[in-house]
Chain A
Amino acid sequence: MSNTRYSAFKVLKEALTGHKGWEPVWRDAEPKADGYDVIIVGGGGHGLATAYYLAKNHGITNVAVLERGWIGSGNVGRNTTIIRSNYLLPGNEPFYELSMQLWENLEQDLNYNAMVSQRGIMNLIHNDAQRDAFIRRGNAMLFADAGAEYLEAKDVKERYPFLDMDNARFPIKGALAQPRGGTVRHDAVAWGYARGASDLGVDIIQNCEVTGFNIENGVCLGVKTAKGDIKANRVGVCVAGSSGRVMAKVGIKLPIESHVLQAFVTEGLKPVMDNVITFGAGHFYCSQSDKGGLVFGGDIDAYNTYAQRGNLPVVEDVCSGGMAIMPIVGRARLLRMWGGIVDMSMDGSPFIDSTEIEELFFNGGWCYGGFKATPASGYCYAHLLATDESHEVATAYRLDRFRRGAMIDEKGVGAQPNLH
């Protein structure tokens, strides 16, 4: 166990003593023969956060996180790093605001530099109807203490003169801003939670694919893995992107389709934007990383897939969205592009719930917005796993909500996952 406390003093000391005192950030474990109180399937951001909060908030430390590859190799390392709590609906907004508050204290809590940068997010407005809708959303944000500001077009232009304010089709009329939004160094979130959980006694077991579940009389007793059977009193699945494949092993079908979302980064440029900017008339969002690259993304590819790569029509669509609001991107060269598989749910909102199998729990359906939810997802999933009750901000995230007609459909597009 590392237990090394990171500080400026520690950095200075190591600099003067040849960096011989650093230890591995977390402990690479092997499965215990006598099993665990809780097994978390999936060593991504949400799974590691769940294990951390189980240990920290609920004192449950006999926990294993099982990861098929290496931790953080899925969507926590593939997203565009944006955090925000600018949702409209009551089922969502308090949850994402809890997440934002956890982000704000994350580094102190974990003693780990996750480069949380509350640089602000700005959603551009292009017509009067959209202004009405965004002001309504801004009011919903104010009700949840998330903070929101309305910016006039002249304020937007003053801050970002490179924006194409008078575009013939998509003129910029203003913006809805959330100054507390921003970006976080995504890999560091996985590493920080892994370190925090490991230090509290959680076993992080990599290269350990779950190949099945041991179920007797409708009760889950553990998992079958590449490293043999592992017993557990309770199992929490947390594998967004692969939810369909994992839950198929117990015959549970979900209100989810798997789709690919692509992301892009340009070569490094001098500082040009100190904010996250989103296009309101198409789908394009962009921020500048600390290395200088413009990090951006847009729509999903819109067909079912489990391949972690997309196709060119969406690349063109995303780039044309960028050109419509900030033509300066046309002069930048694309450095890299990649894809991640996301759980697109039937109403665009996630699930944190028990299942029809006793002692088997499910967390998934994060669509393309799972990264910002990481702390609250772990916090609320740990609460459910420890107490058998939904956390008060996650009570709407039930698997049976479609049967009850209690959808949480932010965009109002209905049961068409590729449109959310």
Chain B
Amino acid sequence: MIINHPLLGPRDSEEFVYLGSADLIDRPDWESRTVADDFHQYQYIRENIAGDNRELWYHEQGDQSWLLVTRNTLTHEIINVELAQDVSRSMGRGK
């Protein structure tokens, strides 16, 4: 698989480490009343989508950036690549 890095252009997926679902950006509020449930969902439960999946890849052997890759889990086609920090900021979170 070739991941089209927004800053560095097309890179082999072998340069990356895979973390998992992009939902992991949205860490629950630790002061919430439902914190135990929230963190159980966040840490352990997955959508495990068959189709377009939003996921986090880390460019370990490159510029060390986190990318948010939208990839089809049935065909391995990569549909979209964004910098995870841009997505995180657009959600009102820090980088």
Residues of A within 8 A of B (CB): 243-245, 248, 253-258, 302-307, 311, 313, 346, 402-403, 415-418
Given A244-B49, A255-B45, 6 more pairs with CB closer than 8 A: A243-B48, A245-B50, A256-B46, A257-B48, A307-B75, A313-B12
A313:B14 contact, CB within 8 angstroms = yes
Residues of B within 8 A of A (CB): 1, 12-14, 18-21, 36, 40, 43-50, 53, 55, 71, 73-76
User: Once the chains are docked, how many angstroms separate the CA of A402 from the CA of B73?
Assistant: 26
B48:A305 contact, CB within 8 angstroms = no
B73:A307 contact, CB within 8 angstroms = yes
Known: A253-B46, A258-B48. A304 touches B75 (CB 8 A): no
Nearest-Cβ distance from residue B38 to partner chain A, whole angstroms: 12
Nearest-Cβ distance from residue A175 to partner chain B, whole angstroms: 31
A403:B53 contact, CB within 8 angstroms = no
Nearest-Cβ distance from residue B93 to partner chain A, whole angstroms: 21
User: Once the chains are docked, how many angstroms separate the CA of A311 from the CA of B14?
Assistant: 10
A255:B44 contact, CB within 8 angstroms = yes
Nearest-Cβ distance from residue A367 to partner chain B, whole angstroms: 14
Q: What are the residues of chain B within 8 A of A417 when measuring CB–CB?
A: 20, 46
Chain B CB within 10 Å, residue with most, of A256, A303, A313, A417: A303
Q: What are the residues of chain A within 8 A of B53 when measuring CB–CB?
A: 304
Q: Which 5 A-B pairs have the closest CB atoms?
A: A244-B48, A313-B14, A402-B44, A255-B44, A303-B18
User: Once the chains are docked, how many angstroms separate the CA of A311 from the CA of B16?
Assistant: 14
User: Once the chains are docked, how many angstroms separate the CA of A305 from the CA of B18?
Assistant: 12
Can you list 21 A-B pairs, Cβ within 8 angstroms, ordered by A? A244-B47, A244-B50, A248-B48, A253-B45, A254-B48, A255-B44, A257-B46, A258-B73, A302-B18, A303-B55, A304-B21, A304-B49, A304-B55, A306-B73, A307-B73, A313-B13, A346-B43, A346-B44, A403-B36, A415-B44, A418-B20
Nearest-Cβ distance from residue B60 to partner chain A, whole angstroms: 13
B45:A305 contact, CB within 8 angstroms = no
User: Once the chains are docked, how many angstroms separate the CA of A255 from the CA of B20?
Assistant: 13
Q: Which of A307, A402, A415 contacts B74 (CB 8 A)?
A: A307
Nearest-Cβ distance from residue A416 to partner chain B, whole angstroms: 8
Q: What are the residues of chain A within 8 A of B20 when measuring CB–CB?
A: 257, 304, 416-418
Q: What are the residues of chain A within 8 A of B1 when measuring CB–CB?
A: 311
User: Once the chains are docked, how many angstroms separate the CA of A311 from the CA of B71?
Assistant: 15
> Which residue of the partner chain A has the closest CB to B1?
A311
User: Once the chains are docked, how many angstroms separate the CA of A256 from the CA of B20?
Assistant: 11
User: Once the chains are docked, how many angstroms separate the CA of A173 from the CA of B72?
Assistant: 44
